Amino acid sequence: MNLPNILLDKLKSANRILFFTGAGISAESGVDTFRGKGGLWNKMKPEELASFDGFMRNPNLVWEWYQYRRKVVRNTTPNPGHRAIAEFEKYFDTIDVITQNVDNLHRRAGSKNILELHGNIERNYCMECGKYYGVEEFLNSEEVPKCPECGGMIRPDVVWFGENLPDGIYETAVQRAQFSDVCFVVGTSAVVYPAAYIPTRAKEAGSFVVEINLEGTDISGSLDLSFQGKSGEILPEILAAVKEIREN
């Protein structure tokens, strides 16, 4: 693929790069996306599985779904897209990763500055006393476990519809977006708010915003560039160009 000169110029002079990622970046690791082709929500109702009310209506079903996804995540590895993002750190002063994903794959790929807007599937907490737990404690629980300390219900540490994002995280994310020189928007349908405001906030502040997605999205037209294809193929190509222009 020939990368447009405008992108190469921006990458040559940039100091701060932001990656804003969604489920699509993990698709090539075998982690299901929510929407789009083959997305989870084509088969299941989001409000039943990813909301507090859905959890309270049928806690064991929701728990089972998370236990299943934990298994998928444990048995997979970061793909060339995650690894390319981690390698960008060699070439720029600041690399920020703001992810909507809960799968830990950016961390496992070696990225350092990660903001997880929607939590992390590899953590749990007690709904009564607030104590945090890893996943190992409840690895074989097929039903919602009870807190060993207080008997309260244990839930995954993720953000469901109608719940606030972790304290202050969205404000920090917007600041990082506004500071970025180039912002890559990777593998997200950009329909879930407030996360979906981030590319727009970056663009308004003068960042050069580049989308990488299998298909066009509602925001494609308002960004600087939009590449259609697999992030696990396109990101390594951009990294190869970065190596050339930043090492010489």
The listed partner (ligand BJW, Zn ion, none) that binds 217, CB under 5 to 8 Å by sort, is ligand BJW
User: Helix 5-13 and helix 231-247: axis angle, to 10°?
Assistant: 60
How buried is residue 66: exposed, middle or buried, by Cβ count under 10 Å (0-12/13-18/19+)? buried
Cα–Cα distance measured from residue 5 to residue 123, given in angstroms and rounded to the nearest whole number: 43
Nearer to ligand BJW, 59 or 94 (CB): 59
Is 118 noted as a catalytic residue in this protein?
Answer: yes
Shortest distance (Å) from residue 33 CB to ligand BJW: 4
**Site mask for Zn ion (CB under 5 A), range 138-167, x = bound:** ---------x-xx-x---------------
Shortest distance (Å) from residue 91 CB to ligand BJW: 22
Q: Which residues 6+ apart lie within 8 Å of 244 measured at CB?
A: none
The listed partner (Zn ion, ligand BJW, none) that binds 230, CB under 5 to 8 Å by sort, is ligand BJW
Residues that bind ligand BJW (CB under 6 A): 22-24, 27-28, 33-36, 39, 50, 100, 102, 118, 158-164, 187-189, 191-194, 212-215, 217, 230-231
Shortest distance (Å) from residue 155 CB to Zn ion: 11
Cα 187 to the center of its chain, rounded Å: 9
Nearer to Zn ion, 46 or 59 (CB): 59
Catalytic member of 118, 155, 176, 203: 118
Enzyme catalytic residues: 118
